[in-house]
Amino acid sequence: MVTNPLDYVEPLGKAGASGFTFHVEASKDNWKELIQRIKSQGMKPGVALKPGTPIEDVYPLVEAENPVEMVLVMTVAPGFGGQKFMPEMMDKVRILRKKYPSLDIEVDGGLGPSTIDMAASAGANCIVAGSSVFGAPEPAQVISLLRNSVEKGQQTH
């Protein structure tokens, strides 16, 4: 998480990033400008929210005339890898999936073989996984397992 996301849009666009996700908590006054600039750099805009932030805070950004295309539900406090997954965040994912059936919904923090089914069945279709993949003896196997769980979850939504 950065506090001044606007400063990073152009550098990341020029570096070739395909997406740019900013925190709703850090963009209360300039999210419309951020989305416009992200798209003008050819990137897909997403908005993230911290565990303590109500899900309603992202609705205006999803329903805007020029909307974000992904919502990232943080399942740990932003800061570092290796934290414990917060299952109570799945309520946010379920609410979003019901309200926006075709929206990309990402989860980030503590995702791995023991938690992926909770996220996938709640409706998440994009997964950020750090330690469960990079700490695995066979990272490809963990990635396959995560992917299979999400594909299975998608069939029920």
> What is the nearest approach in angstroms of ligand 5SP to the Cβ of residue 7?
19
State yes or no: residue 79 binds ligand 5SP (CB under 6 A): yes
Q: Among residues 42 and 135, whose Cβ is nearest to ligand 5SP?
A: 135
State yes or no: residue 131 binds ligand 5SP (CB under 6 A): yes
Q: Which range in 26-34, 57-65, 81-89, 117-125 contacts ligand 5SP by CB under 6 A?
A: 81-89
Angle at 63 between CA 59 and CA 69, to 5 degrees: 90
Please select the residue that binds ligand 5SP; options are 110, 118, 127, 142, rule is CB under 6 A: 110
Token look-up 């397992």 returns: 145
State yes or no: residue 129 binds ligand 5SP (CB under 6 A): yes
State yes or no: residue 81 binds ligand 5SP (CB under 6 A): yes
> What is the nearest approach in angstroms of ligand 5SP to the Cβ of residue 80?
6
Question: Do residues 12 and 37 touch, judged by C-beta distance below 8 A?
Answer: no
State yes or no: residue 83 binds ligand 5SP (CB under 6 A): yes
Q: Which residues bind ligand 5SP (CB under 6 A)?
A: 76, 78-83, 108-111, 128-132
